[in-house]
Amino acid sequence: MLRAPGEFALCDVPTPEPLLGQVLLRVRASTMCGTDQKIFAGQFPGTLFPHIPGHEFAGDVAKVGPGVDEVREGDRVGVEVHVGCGRCARCLEGLYQLCVNYGRIDKGHAHIGFSVPGALAEYVAVSVKALHRLPDALSWDEGAFCDNVGIALYAIERGRLVAGERVIIIGGGAFGALAAQVARALSAARVVLLGTRSERLERLRNLADLVTANEQDVRDAFPGGADLVVEFAGTAEAARQAIQLARRGGRVVLAGATGPGRELSGIDLSTIVRGHLDILGSLANPRGISARGLELIARGAVDVKPLITHCFGLSEFEQAWATFVERRDGAIRVMVHP
């Protein structure tokens, strides 16, 4: 429970009751990401305190609420965290992450772990619209990547990757590692992963054709630039790099730098205009894409196991959080098992 920005405590709260169209999930695996750091610090505008965070998780259905017949008690599910209102123009296109009724619980919108209580808890009540049945082959920990893999898949699909292309992924964390593997699964010719923290990159060595912290290595690998560059590092510097590493006429997807107050600088506009670049923003994932991402994990095309670097019980949360925030021993995803 986050009582105020920067202040959390473990505490007992009543088990939520699933409302109309909701299910109660018993959380089996739940992890945290850089966005949680913004939430914890009080920098996420849609979060009101006190707040229970947690938005990357899997669990089984403990109870179904009124009107729910899509799943039954005991079903194993992963969760997509953007639950759109389902009635605005963007939601009708399936773009739940762009819902114009963001934060309006009365309209049916929920951003799980952001605007409504999340899953760093034993139980969480979520809309049935958020659920994806886990393929049998997946463990709970793997299922907790449901939302993450959808985000990575969406960014690659935004970039219109076709077979045989050269791809650069910028960002040595979970999303970069997932996007690199998705690009491979979709038959990229060669995938280069550019990160910054060498301890983390060591863990990701086998997930791309080249994994490096050196921008010059990337230029040497693709002298004319890449067909597609996808940025998942979350910094303005990485966005600049992404634009400069694309070939003329190539595509750039900026998927990481979502925080307010970041500005792009150091780019000659002719790089974009005369370079004839497609530069696309990519925010989270639209409704339903995670189901396809989970299939990629189930058939082994995307391996999330190297990203699971630590596991803790919920009672050890303080240690889990410190491990993640300080990136202890190259921490990528720190799993909590309530």
Q: Can you spell out the DSSP letters for 76-139?
A: EEEE-SEE--SSSHHHHTT-GGG-TTTT-GGGT-EEBTTTB--SSSSEEEEEGGGEEEPPTT--
Shortest distance in whole angstroms from residue 88 CB to Zn ion: 3
Binding of Zn ion at residue 97 (CB under 5 A)?
no
Shortest distance in whole angstroms from residue 221 CB to Zn ion: 29
Binding of Zn ion at residue 58 (CB under 5 A)?
no
Alpha carbon 296 to chain centroid, angstroms: 15
Shortest distance in whole angstroms from residue 109 CB to Zn ion: 6
- Any bridge partners for residue 252, and if so which? 229, 279
Quote the CA–CA distance of 213 and 232 in Å, as a whole number: 14
Phi-psi region of 241 (alpha: psi -120 to 50; beta: other; left: phi over 0): alpha
Quote the CA–CA distance of 250 and 229 in Å, as a whole number: 8
Binding of Zn ion at residue 16 (CB under 5 A)?
no
- Which window, 35-43, 124-132, 133-141, 311-319, contacts Zn ion (CB under 5 A)? 35-43
Tell me the one-letter amino acid at 142: E
Binding of Zn ion at residue 62 (CB under 5 A)?
no
Binding of Zn ion at residue 84 (CB under 5 A)?
yes
Shortest distance in whole angstroms from residue 151 CB to Zn ion: 8
Binding of Zn ion at residue 127 (CB under 5 A)?
no
| Closer to Zn ion by Cβ: residue 98 or 314 | 98
Cα separation of the two ends of the chain: 14
| Closer to Zn ion by Cβ: residue 250 or 256 | 256
Binding of Zn ion at residue 177 (CB under 5 A)?
no
Residues 154-173 contacting Zn ion, CB under 5 A: none
User: From the list 24, 61, 85, 131, which residue makes contact with Zn ion (rule: CB under 5 A)?
Assistant: 85
Residues 286-315 contacting Zn ion, CB under 5 A: none
Kind and range of the H or E run holding 193: strand 190-194
Three-state DSSP class for 148?
A: helix
Binding of Zn ion at residue 252 (CB under 5 A)?
no
Binding of Zn ion at residue 99 (CB under 5 A)?
yes
| DSSP type of residue 74 | T
User: From the list 22, 30, 31, 35, which residue makes contact with Zn ion (rule: CB under 5 A)?
Assistant: 35
Could you list the residues that contact Zn ion (CB under 5 A)?
33, 35, 84-85, 88, 91, 99, 101
